[in-house]
């Protein structure tokens, strides 16, 4: 069976439908895969420190193709921005999770920034950042084209998040996959370092035990 090939059996169920053509369209396939992927990664997300919504670099910079983190509000006062956030009792710029946004294109800064998110407690989030153009500081080498006028954070269903944000379920899925690859590489690197230290300490312990016998 297809489920036998996957640690998370939900992937097998979805891909089995692809093979047997029981799923009517590509969008529904990616939506199902995204849902199963979230279920698969949530236990890991709860074990590690994740980036916050405020860490997401989504405010376009003026002199480069880079972005300022939302939490800096284009290097303006963070206190000022906190007052602009409407996330109810549960969500704020400090909410940890995986977030992605729709980049601006063709040099045209968006009036609103649409953000999709999966919080570390498994909630799908739709974030709408209402922006305004920032006045240039002549002393700044780089500056934000936009700053936030308000930030609205809503808990939604997966289907609602995709609909409101106009970010495809495939794009969100790819963002999670890339993050898992990053976690894997970082963990592999740390395990290699830990393994080397462990080997050295085992050798030191063995030599000390031998020396104590003489």
Q: At what angle do helices 26-45 and 169-212 cross, to 10 degrees?
A: 30
Output the pLDDT for position 64.
Answer: 63
In terms of Cβ atoms closer than 10 Å to its own Cβ (0-12, 13-18, 19+), residue 141 is exposed
Output the pLDDT for position 139.
Answer: 56
Residue 147 lies in a domain: yes
Residue 93 lies in a domain: yes
What are 91-112's pLDDT values in tens digits? 999 999 999 997 776 556 667 8
Residue 201 lies in a domain: no
Output the pLDDT for position 60.
Answer: 82
Verdict on whether the full-model pTM lies above 0.85: no
Output the pLDDT for position 6.
Answer: 47
Quote the domain boundaries for residue 135. Answer: 49-167
Residue 38 lies in a domain: no
What are 145-198's pLDDT values in tens digits? 788 888 999 999 999 999 999 899 989 999 999 998 998 898 888 888 999 998
Number of domains in the chain: 1
Residue 198 lies in a domain: no
Residue 160 lies in a domain: yes
Residue 133 lies in a domain: yes
């Amino acid at each position: 069976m297809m489920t036998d090939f996957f640690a998370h059996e939900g992937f097998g169920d979805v891909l089995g439908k692809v093979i047997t053509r029981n799923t009517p369209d590509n969008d529904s396939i990616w939506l199902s895969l995204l849902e199963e992927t979230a279920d698969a990664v949530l236990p890991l997300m709860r074990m590690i420190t994740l980036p916050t919504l405020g860490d997401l670099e989504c405010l376009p910079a003026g002199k480069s193709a880079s972005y300022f983190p939302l939490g800096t509000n284009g290097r303006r006062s963070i206190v000022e921005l906190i007052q602009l956030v409407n996330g109810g009792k549960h969500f704020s710029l400090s909410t940890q999770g995986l977030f992605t946004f729709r980049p601006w294109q063709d040099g045209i800064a968006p009036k609103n920034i649409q953000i999709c998110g999966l919080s570390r407690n498994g909630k799908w989030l739709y974030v709408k950042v209402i922006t305004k153009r920032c006045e240039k500081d002549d002393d700044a080498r780089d500056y934000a084209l936009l700053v936030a006028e308000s930030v609205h954070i809503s808990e939604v269903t997966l289907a609602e998040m995709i609909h409101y944000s106009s970010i495809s379920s495939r794009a969100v899925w790819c963002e999670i996959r890339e993050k898992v690859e990053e976690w894997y590489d970082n963990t592999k690197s740390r395990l290699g370092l830990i393994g080397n230290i462990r080997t050295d300490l085992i050798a030191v312990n063995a030599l000390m035990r031998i020396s104590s016998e003489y």
